[in-house]
Structure formats: C-alpha cells, structure tokens
Structure 1
Amino acid sequence: MLVTINGNALDVEILGENPDAPLLIAHHGAPGLGSRNEPLMAFGPLSDTFRVLIFDARGSGVSGESGPFTHEQWVADVDALRQWAGAESFVMAGGSYGGFIAMEYAVRHPDRLRALVLRDTSADHEHNDLAIANARASDRVDINEDMLMRMMEGRIRDNDDFKNSWRELLPLYDFDFDPATLEERVASVNYHFATHNAAFSENLLHYDLKPLLPSVSCPTLVTVGRADWITPVPCSEKIAELIPRAGLEIFEKSGHSPPSDEPELFQQTVRDFLSEHV
C-alpha cells in the first residue's frame, strides 16, 4: 500500500498476523535500484514472530521520488514509519546501503532500538575503493572502466544507462552466478538514476560513522558473505569491532547476499540472535 511519509508516497507492506508482535523494520540497499523484495526475502520469514515492515525507500522501487535523497531524510522516513506502525521501539535491519541507514538510525535514535541486524555493509565510504579493485580483478566480468567509475562515483546519465550498467555488474554479486537469470533480474528492477547519483556522488563523500559506532548500545548482529565484492569482510569486521558486544557471522558460501546464497543458515542465525535478545 502507498502511505504518505514526510510528504512522499512510500510503498509499504507489513507482514505478520499478530498485531501485538514486536516490530521489525527492514531497509533495502541499492538506492535507486533496490526495493522491498530484498528485505522480503531476507526478513519476511520472521513474520511468524514479528510484525515485519518492508518498504520501497524514497526514490526507489515504486515509491515517490520527492527529494532530498540524503541519509538524514531516509532516517527520518524510518522513524516516521515507526510512528505510523504504532511502535515505541523496534528491531532495525538493513542490508548493504540499507545498513548505512540502519546504523545512522542507531546513532541518532539509540533509545528506539531493541536490536540491530546488519548485512553486508560498511561504516564508511572506504569500501568503494575495495569494491573497484575487486571488480577490476574479477574474472566474471570484462569490466568497462568508464561504466564502473560512473557507477561508483554517481555519474549515471539516465535510466537506460543505469540499466545497462547494472546488467554488467550484476554477475559480481552472487556466490554462484547463473547467467540464465541475468535478463530476468535486470528486467525486474525499477530504475531511478537520480537517487543512485545522489547517494554515490554526494552522501558517500561524507559518510563515516566509525567515531559514532561505539555509542550504539543495543544488541547487534553483523553478517557478511565471505565472497562479498562490494562491502568486503573487513568492512563488517570493523563494524563488529566498534559496536560494543556486537556479534559477527561470516557466511563462507555467500557473496553480497547470504539470505539468497545460504538462506537456511542465514535465517537460523538471525532467529537465534533475536530469540536471545528480543
């Protein structure tokens, strides 16, 4: 359903039949590319225990495109969704760029979080240089250098350029890539190049939460795939080192998405963590 949040329409879905269950809000990654389909796969199965709120973020999926596309605005949208759902506190989950927003929320609203679940993310912008090096070194793609740098620096020209660039980079994401799925996956995306450009050319230039992460007080689970090319394992190790008492789980047969590469193990890992702490 479309819900007006902070003056912009967001496509929102709440999974779970128990209105008294604790709330979990999950934020997708890839601004301008991502959608609620990603957290549906990763956290939807938890709807037997939680009310799981998934949504297309501002400027992504089928949600509205009213700016600004900033971390501050995306965090404010999460808090407004919390209020809309009628929860004083909740579990925050975020994958990839959604992990940036989840951590930003944790440092801005520490009293609101019961727990924090992070997947394949980074505490600063330095992962970009690691990702560029990994893309250049990969034997899965014959990398177009100009395309790579326009993607990573937020200089995409239009939605057709965005679609073609995504097609070229997508093989890097999976642990075992199936070329037969490529065109279907490319066609399934709603492309918003302006959102991506704002995230990568403006937000990431100043993104560095490392000094603030020691203030995160809620139980935290950090997860990452061993073969993650864009937010490699050292990024998650740094997060787990900085957040007090955070747990780190590395999925040995996963790329950038353990929920799709090792779904049963990922689900059990998250369930065990939340059963202990929520």
Structure 2
Amino acid sequence: MITDDGRELWTSASGRGEPILCCHGGPGLWDMFGTLDLGPRFRLLRWDQRGAGRSEPRGPYTLDRMVADVDAVREWHGLDRVPVLGHSWGAHLGLLYALARPERVSALVYVSGVGLGHDWHAEFERNFERVLGDRHPRWAELRAMERDEAEERELAVLQWTADFVAEGSRRAEAMATPWFPLNYEANALLSEEMRARPEEELISACRSLRVPTLIVDGLADNRPRWAVDSLEHALPSVTRVRLPGVGHVPWLEAPEEFRAAVADFLDGRADSSP
C-alpha cells in the first residue's frame, strides 16, 4: 500500500473473521505477529511500520506520522472502525492512535506496553542483566562494537531471549526469522519524541478516552508492570489481565489464556464504545 506522502508499506490480512489491526513492537522493528493465533473468529491485519521490515526504508519518523500510517492501513483495508491490538511500543502507538482518532477504534488491546512515563528504565536494565545472566557479557560486547549483519542478529536474539520465562533462545530465534535490518534512526527519533512528552499530559488525554481498553501484562516481564498503573488509573473504560509466569510476549507463553482474554474482552466491551 502507498501512504499519502508516497511511502510504500507492507501489509497483509489473514483469516476470515472479525478484523483486528495489529501494531508491532519496536520502534524500528517489523511485524512479528505471524505467531499470533486468536482463533478462527478474527482476521489479523498486519503491517510493517514505516522504515522497517518489508516496508520502504524511508522516513520521516515522527509520532504524528506513525499515527497517520495506522489510519492509512485501516483505510486501505476498507474499514470504518476496528479493534486495535498493539504490543510493546506498538501498544503505545495503538494508544496514540486511539487518542487521535477515537471514532476509528472500537476497542484497544494494550499488550506488554510500558505506560506513560519513563522512570522504568533503570529497573528494566537490572532485571534484564539478571535474567540474561552469563550471556550478558556477550550482549554488552556486541552492543559496544561495530557489527556486521550476523552480529546484529546475534545481539537481537540475545536481547529477546530475556523476554521469555522459558525456551527463550528458541523463541528469540523464531522472532528473528525472517531477519530484516533494524532501523536505528526510527528507534532513536521516535524514542526521543516519546521521552519529550510529559506523563501528565498523556494522563490528561487518557482521562477523556472512551474507547474500551484491555491491558494485558505478563507478570514476569522484565519491564516493570507498575509503569502501566498510571495509564490504567487514567482510562475511564479499562480491563486489566495479569498473567503469572509470563514474560513480554504473552501469546507465545500463554496462548490459550491470551486468546481467551482478548476474545472475552471484545465480546463484552467492544460494542460499548461510542
């Protein structure tokens, strides 16, 4: 598909049921929802965000532009209104889209997001080093050096290994297959813009959001879950599901529980938004 500023984005649809628009993590990564199974009642609308994966490797990379791209994907698939499911950074992108275009979002599923503030990083880094254990020195070595493509992939696999409670290496390898270059420019620019927006400003905006929202946390996620509390408290219509013994990618570690949480929420809440 082509955006209004002429950028080519990769997108696909799978399944025959109710459409749900998926926003992947990053920023600067690609769609990894090929492993997401919500059952036959849903049709997954997937896409690679601007500058990443199979999409054209060109910016600009701003939050407003990324939100506009979400809207373009929705429109390209011919939908007036759709549930949006976002994971990690994609959860924040889905939230920003719901805040900007609430009339286009029937429900928001906010999976493993990191909340509205930025004071969670220090705890995350401690958790990450602890979980990675004796593999952390190699991760630090790779992080500090100039890397070729094989070393870039090795670094990513090591980092993603810590996102899982069990079988982390195998699952991280699967996430890195197929492999695409990481877009560090998009990551840096979008992360900087996110840090510049005060938490209180986002809290104030969320208080007026009438889109029903499901927050899904894996309680063993390295990213501290208290970081999401201010979002939960600000939203007028929110359900929160906490999955014990689950890391950052809950649909892989607790697929049945995750599928049930999303289906139950959309059955009970999606039609209640204005």
Q: TM-score range by the shorter chain?
A: 0.7 to 0.9
> Is 1:169 the equivalent of 2:168?
no
Task: After TM superposition, give the deviation of residue 70 of structure 1 in Å.
Answer: 2.0
Q: Tell whether the 8 Å contact from 2:25 to 2:86 is kept in structure 1 after alignment.
A: yes
Give 1:227's aligned amino acid.
A
Q: Tell whether the 8 Å contact from 2:24 to 2:89 is kept in structure 1 after alignment.
A: yes
Relative distance call for 1:192 and 1:146 in structure 2 (3 A) is: closer
CA distance in 2, matches of 1:203, 1:148: 28
Relative distance call for 1:90 and 1:178 in structure 2 (3 A) is: closer
Task: After TM superposition, give the deviation of residue 218 of structure 1 in Å.
Answer: 1.1
Relative distance call for 1:180 and 1:274 in structure 2 (3 A) is: closer
Give 2:196's aligned amino acid.
H
> Is 1:113 the equivalent of 2:105?
yes
Q: Tell whether the 8 Å contact from 1:59 to 1:192 is kept in structure 2 after alignment.
A: no
CA distance in 1, matches of 2:233, 2:25: 22
Task: After TM superposition, give the deviation of residue 189 of structure 1 in Å.
Answer: 2.4
How big is each residue's C-alpha offset from its partner over 1:218-259, in whole Å with a ceiling of 9 and x where there is no partner?
1110001011113x2112333222111311111102100110
> Is 1:197 the equivalent of 2:188?
yes
CA distance in 2, matches of 1:159, 1:199: 23
> Is 1:131 the equivalent of 2:124?
yes
Give 2:111's aligned amino acid.
R
How big is each residue's C-alpha offset from its partner over 1:4-23, in whole Å with a ceiling of 9 and x where there is no partner?
123211111112336xx4x3
Aligned match of 2:11: 12
TM-score, normalization: structure 2? Answer: 0.84
Correspondent of 1:33 among 29, 34, 41: 29
* Aligned residues between the structures: 264
CA distance in 1, matches of 2:236, 2:156: 36
Give 1:214's aligned amino acid.
R
CA distance in 1, matches of 2:262, 2:221: 19
Relative distance call for 1:141 and 1:261 in structure 2 (3 A) is: farther
CA distance in 1, matches of 2:252, 2:174: 16
Task: After TM superposition, give the deviation of residue 187 of structure 1 in Å.
Answer: 4.9
Q: Tell whether the 8 Å contact from 1:162 to 1:193 is kept in structure 2 after alignment.
A: no
Q: Secondary structure at the match of 2:46?
A: strand
Relative distance call for 1:251 and 1:242 in structure 2 (3 A) is: same
Q: Pairwise mapping of residues 147-186 of structure 1 onto structure 2 (< 5 A)?
A: 147=140, 162-180=152-170, 183=173, 185-186=175-176
Q: Tell whether the 8 Å contact from 2:51 to 2:183 is kept in structure 1 after alignment.
A: no
Task: After TM superposition, give the deviation of residue 199 of structure 1 in Å.
Answer: 3.3
TM-score, normalization: structure 1? Answer: 0.83
Relative distance call for 1:179 and 1:102 in structure 2 (3 A) is: closer
Q: Tell whether the 8 Å contact from 1:34 to 1:60 is kept in structure 2 after alignment.
A: yes
Correspondent of 1:89 among 58, 67, 81: 81
Relative distance call for 1:176 and 1:206 in structure 2 (3 A) is: same
Q: Tell whether the 8 Å contact from 1:140 to 1:171 is kept in structure 2 after alignment.
A: no
Identity of counterpart residues, as a percentage? 25
Q: Tell whether the 8 Å contact from 1:222 to 1:249 is kept in structure 2 after alignment.
A: yes
Task: After TM superposition, give the deviation of residue 179 of structure 1 in Å.
Answer: 3.5
CA distance in 1, matches of 2:141, 2:3: 34
CA distance in 2, matches of 1:271, 1:41: 17
Task: After TM superposition, give the deviation of residue 25 of structure 1 in Å.
Answer: 0.8
Relative distance call for 1:107 and 1:182 in structure 2 (3 A) is: closer
Relative distance call for 1:115 and 1:182 in structure 2 (3 A) is: closer
CA distance in 2, matches of 1:69, 1:171: 28
Q: Secondary structure at the match of 1:116?
A: strand
> Is 1:263 the equivalent of 2:255?
yes
Task: After TM superposition, give the deviation of residue 267 of structure 1 in Å.
Answer: 0.1
Q: Secondary structure at the match of 1:140?
A: helix
Aligned match of 1:101: 93
CA distance in 2, matches of 1:90, 1:181: 30
Moved more, 128-137 or 181-190: 181-190
Q: Tell whether the 8 Å contact from 1:24 to 1:52 is kept in structure 2 after alignment.
A: yes
